[in-house]
Structure 1
């Protein structure tokens, strides 16, 4: 038997005409007074609550305000916003108007967002004060006060069209070291219903809390869009919430489903958790969940964590779920409706149990349209009808997939995929570094960080100085947290850097990373 998962009942195509924002807010009329979004805080402050009716009204008002700026359907809107309700209002408001929003991390530096803006060419930027902007600004910039004013404008009609048309753009790192702009269609939200039972086990009675920032696609989808699509309540911790705050909020807010990256679970488990009688299960994605972390969570809460595997180009497509938990050591199962395979170098499915490249059939409705302005990079990801993930996996007789490792050298920092080439280029700008190479380094049983190994120009440079240099030019999550001077970088016979050999050189003894 071969490692190919054929869908027994493929997901029906998205209806046409279609608008992603209208689909997400489809329950507003039926559940108008129900809480859709609550920004929750561990202090005594009352929750900032938005009902479904308020949310839909505000989103359609924002759509009107954006169109009043002279924008036309298909124009791009760059979002430079913090972890407030402004983010989903700007995101869904743009989509409602037929515009194409581009979420971006508020941590990005001026140099980073300038390069990204040059690639996507936005027609408008919506920005929080104090968050870095492209320099020079390529278009008009409106602030959050102006955005708030839009919410009271007459509601715009949802822009209708083919579900294959562009809806939004997200950024992901590639092996080239250049951020790739991933263009998704309106149908991407329609495809996410395969996760409802295949991962979440969610109903409209759930109160789901996600610990991530709005701009992260994991939070944007799992924490907001999907709960709203089923009529559930989305809970987002207020900015500045600590891991201890999250533990308290799980109890006080009667959370039934909790979603976070593995690192968040690890931080929360540094202290005993309170009783969580309403919690049914946790969700984890962004990086591999360590068995050590999972076991401690189950021991303290008596609830499972269901893990999912995915990527920016297709969101999550393999997962465990309440109805079908993952076997020990496995990633999970292909979600119902997915067409997946494990392929050899010639593009043929390998035998069951053998390792190969994990691939998604091009017919998957959640698959991206393209890498923007990069036709060669887009074409390189396909082999016939298969989109190659670049990850190695194997498939068992039960249909469970096991992760065998990354086929490239992309690092994973707290759930963010980071190109080593991008970080190396920045570190090499320091005058005290002659040459640098970066890899993901395991520092604990349940944690890994970005490690920078460098050849000093003269004497080794202090860790503090190198950290300051990195933070001046890179987003926080991209910055190395371990620095190791070495005499030379390991290379293969053809003089190519050997990252596998480099990982063996790390000496993290005495370096406690928190």
Structure 2
């Protein structure tokens, strides 16, 4: 596979994802794994459901280019609706089910969707242009729509990510973004058409959507997804019982699985895959000892998916996260230009990368500010050795990581400042024990506030992954000479006090 070949023109993301499966219509594309059984979808059923959904959405009066907001839960409805919208040339906006109604209202005001696809159990403001789950599911049996073919550089989908400004950013991706993911097949996964990929994430998480579903389908492999509510302790049994050859999860899931886990016999499993946040060496070693397989880690971001990883062909060396995937053009940049080997700098992606986003919706200046000439600056620090192995040194801004989601402290602070009794607040990520970090809120108030008052407010106004897990009353917040909040000082003082 030539990963540097240009994306075909005309092109459709959904058509590309389902092309290999069309050649093997009776093969199982998706297995939803329950404790005592599995619900299987063949490729024929998957393709019919996607193209039928495309017909149903077009029958609602939508035209290619229209934006469709997805407020769907952790069910197969999510990927079916996503690919159905793309097949029709519409622009889906997948969003986390954990978002609160006020957060979704802000998104609606920004993107002005023509249609909202809604599971009644997922928070969303009432709107006339809403399709409920029953109507959405009924679309699957309609006459299949033709794929909307067009310029691979046209807008395909929008995903939300927290930005350093404190306001979530709408990241616009082109249809060609899926073509760039081929760089991961050998550069991270070691993916083959006979693989059975078990991803431990939810259907409505973009990590699951890409790594767990679309990438296996693109190559004609089988995707395995645990049923909602599956405990981490049950995953080794599912891996063995359903003969998974690859297992993907966030590091936190690996940690939970490994608690009290004795060595387990997994004869079909080749290796694990980790992304979303950096995996601690102790977790990696424990996984290897328990399963006798390696785990390969990947690094990326919403604007470009993953682009640095270890792989079966090129394992990461000790302390490194891996190398640039084949076909990627990366640099470590300093204020003086490209860094010398083993010199810290900002990890940067060249503007020519086909996986790089088109920009931020309605925020061209914010997108432009991310560039240094032809290089997109990730805001993450790293250094590269003579062999191309990259060591991750942390974020150069104050962004936090919560279970694989990037969270802006400014967004959390802006919300929690309105909590009853709070007069000032600083939010940062702190280490509460070796290898484990949480979002912490340091607040000023006339007197310490009952923790349930703060947690209740956070639950009502922030998605779960954005909610602080630790609240600390302080006499004053540390600020610099020009009055800027010093989050690093908050973090350092707290962690020092625990030693």
TM-score, normalising length from structure 1? Answer: 0.95
Q: What secondary structure, in the 3-state scheme, does the structure 2 residue paired with 1:57 have?
A: helix
Count of residues in Structure 1 that have an aligned counterpart in Structure 2: 497
Matches of 1:367 and 1:492, distance apart in 2: 35
SS in 1 for 2:170: strand
How far apart, CA to CA, are the structure 2 residues paired with 1:394 and 1:208? 32
Aligned to 1:93: 84
Partner residue, 1:12: 5
Aligned twin of 1:29:
22
Query: In structure 2, how many angstroms separate the alpha carbons of the residues matched to 1:447 and 1:22?
Result: 41
CA distance in 2, matches of 1:180, 1:215: 18
| Offset at residue 233 of structure 1 (A) | 0.4
The answer on 1:199 being equivalent to 2:192 is no
The more displaced of 466-475 and 272-281 is 272-281
The residue that corresponds to 1:6 in the other structure is: none
- The equivalent of 2:424 in structure 1 is 435
- CA deviations over 1:34-84 (Å, ceiling 9, x no partner): 00011101x22x211110111001100000000000000000111111111
| Distance (whole Å) between structure 1 residues aligned to residue 133 and residue 38 of structure 2 | 20
Offset, 1:270:
1.1
2:370 is the counterpart of 1:381: yes
The aligned counterpart of 1:267 is 256
Query: Helix, strand or coil: the match of 1:443?
Result: strand
Work out which of the residue numbers 23, 33, 40 in structure 2 matches 1:40. Answer: 33
1:339-488 superposed matches below 5 A:
339-346=329-336, 348-456=337-445, 458-488=446-476
The one of 118, 123, 134 aligned to 1:132: 123
How far is the alpha carbon of 1:509 from its aligned partner? 8.3
Alpha-carbon RMSD across the aligned residues, in angstroms, is 1.5
Task: State the 1:10 CA deviation.
Answer: 6.7
Distance 1:277 1:433 in 2: 55
Residue in 1 that maps onto 2:66: 75
What is the alpha-carbon distance in structure 2 between the residues aligned to residue 472 and residue 24 of structure 1?
38
* 1:345 CA drift (Å): 2.0
Q: 1:242-281 counterparts in 2 under 5 A?
A: 242-273=231-262, 274-281=264-271
Distance 1:151 1:78 in 2: 18
Q: Deviations over 1:235-278 (max 9, x none)?
A: 11111111112222112111111110011111111121542221
Determine helix, strand or coil for the equivalent of 2:56. helix
CA displacement at 1:507 relative to structure 2: 5.6
Alpha-carbon distance between aligned partners in 1 of 2:495 and 2:399, rounded to the nearest angstrom: 21
Q: Distance in 2 between matches of 1:271 and 1:119?
A: 46
Alignment-derived partner of residue 490 in structure 1? 478
Contact 2:21 2:217 (8 Å CA) reproduced? no
- Higher RCO, Cα 8 Å, sep 6+: 1
3-state SS of paired residue (1:354): coil
SS of the residue 2:186 aligns to: helix
1:333-383 Cα deviation digits (max 9, x unpaired): 00111110011125x201111111110000000000110100110110111
Counterpart of 2:301 (choices 307, 311, 314) is 311
Q: Which residue of 1 aligns with 2:275?
A: 285
Alpha carbons of structure 1 residues 13 and 480: separation in structure 2 relative to 1, 3 Å: same
Instruction: Please list every run of at least 4 consecutive aligned residues from structure 1 whose deviation after the TM superposition is greater than 4 angstroms.
Output: 507-510
State whether residues 227 and 233 of structure 1, in contact with CA within 8 Å, keep that contact through their aligned partners in structure 2.
yes
What do residues 94-140 of structure 1 show as CA deviations (whole Å, max 9, x unaligned)? 00000000000111100001101111111001111121113x53x51
2 CA distance for matches of 1:353 and 1:29? 47
Supply the distance in 1 between the matched residues of 2:21 and 2:84 (Cα, whole angstroms). Answer: 15
Aligned to 2:227: 238
Match of 1:109 in 2: 100
d(CA) in 2 for partners of 1:407, 1:497: 16
**Is the CA contact (8 Å cut-off) linking 2:187 and 2:326 kept in structure 1?**
yes
Change (3 A) 1:423 1:508: farther
Distance, in Å, in 2 between the alignment partners of 1:280 and 1:463 is 45
In 2: Cα distance, 1:39 partner to 1:72 partner = 32
How many Å separate the matches in 1 of 2:319 and 2:191? Answer: 24
Residues in 1 aligned to 2:444 and 2:236: alpha-carbon distance in whole angstroms:
43
Question: Is 1:505 equivalent to 2:493 in the alignment?
Answer: yes
C-alpha contact 1:290 1:445 (8 A) present in aligned 2: no
TM superposition shift of 1:299: 1.0
Find out whether 1:222 has 2:206 as its counterpart.
no
- Residues 292 and 445 in structure 1, CA contact (< 8 A), matched pair in contact too: no
- 1:4 maps to none
Once the two structures are TM-superposed, the CA of residue 28 in structure 1 deviates from its matched residue by 2.6
Which residue of 2 is the match for residue 166 of structure 1?
Answer: 155
- Could you tell me which runs of 5 or more consecutive residues in structure 2 were left unpaired when the two chains were aligned: none
Q: Any gaps of 5 or more consecutive residues in structure 1? A: 1-8
Is residue 2:326 matched to residue 1:336? yes
- Take 1:428 and 1:388, find their aligned partners in 2: how far apart are those partners? 30
CA distance in 2, matches of 1:22, 1:29: 10
Where does residue 121 of structure 1 map in the other structure? 112
